[in-house]
Amino acid sequence: MSILFKSALRAGLAAGALTLVSAAAIAGGMSKEVGGAKMYPTKNIVENAVNSKDHTTLVAAVKAAGLVDTLAGTGPFTVFAPTNDAFAKLPAGTVDTLLKPENKDQLTKILTCHVVGSEVMADALSKAIASGEGSAKIETVGGCTFTAKAMDGKIMIEDGKGNVSTVTIADVDQSNGVIHVIDTVLLPAS
């Protein structure tokens, strides 16, 4: 069980824990719109992501890394899903270089650092941050450890390089987990 999930469970038992999302944002079973398309909780991560015009780069990267079957699997997964604009923040040529077959291992590492091997909804993450005195560690399936914090009512994720991403759309429910849309690509420390 990850540090984040253990912290979330402990925090869930504590009275008065900080919650950063509204009840409407965490209501189960509701479809949300991402990138101009409805995200249906009856569809898996891949089935929904391919319909988001804001995630075409992520979908292309998932295909190039050979992760489609994994992310369409039973899960549960939590995916911190960078938008096209997030990928555009990387230095010029980075995405094209990562999509080359010879860079598949590096691409896979980066993508799997956006995935947690359990379902972590925003309220659980918020409670873990509160019980962690302002921060919580997120351990990913790619072996990365990131730090979640709260700032101005939003969840922020700091990566291994010190870059900070904001969760712009939380709790996009999927049949095999949840997606949190983020505005910056998260990178491993090395």
Chain segment 94-152, per-residue pLDDT in tens? 999 999 999 999 999 999 999 999 999 999 999 999 998 899 999 999 999 999 999 98
pLDDT at 157: 96
13 has pLDDT over 60? no
46 has pLDDT over 80? yes
What is the distance of C-alpha 129 from the center of its chain? 16
Which residues is 149 bridged to in the sheet?
135, 156
9 has pLDDT over 70? no
pLDDT at 37: 84
28 has pLDDT over 90? no
Q: Could you tell me the two tokens for 141?
A: 């399936």
Please name the residues in contact with 93: beta carbons below 8 A apart, sequence gap of 6 or more.
none
pLDDT at 36: 81
> Mean pLDDT across the stretch 27-32?
60
20 has pLDDT over 60? no
pLDDT at 14: 31
Where do the domains of the chain lie?
A: 3-12+30-182
The residue with greater pLDDT, 156 or 3, is 156
Compute φ and ψ for 30, nearest 5 degrees: -85, 140
pTM attached to this predicted model = 0.83
CA angle 187, 76, 68 (to 5 degrees): 65
pLDDT at 30: 66
CA angle 82, 154, 107 (to 5 degrees): 20
Number of Cβ atoms within 10 Å of the Cβ of 137: 15
pLDDT at 31: 76
77 has pLDDT over 60? yes
24 has pLDDT over 50? no
Fold held by 3-12+30-182: FAS1 domain (2.30.180)
48 has pLDDT over 80? yes
Which residues is 138 bridged to in the sheet?
146
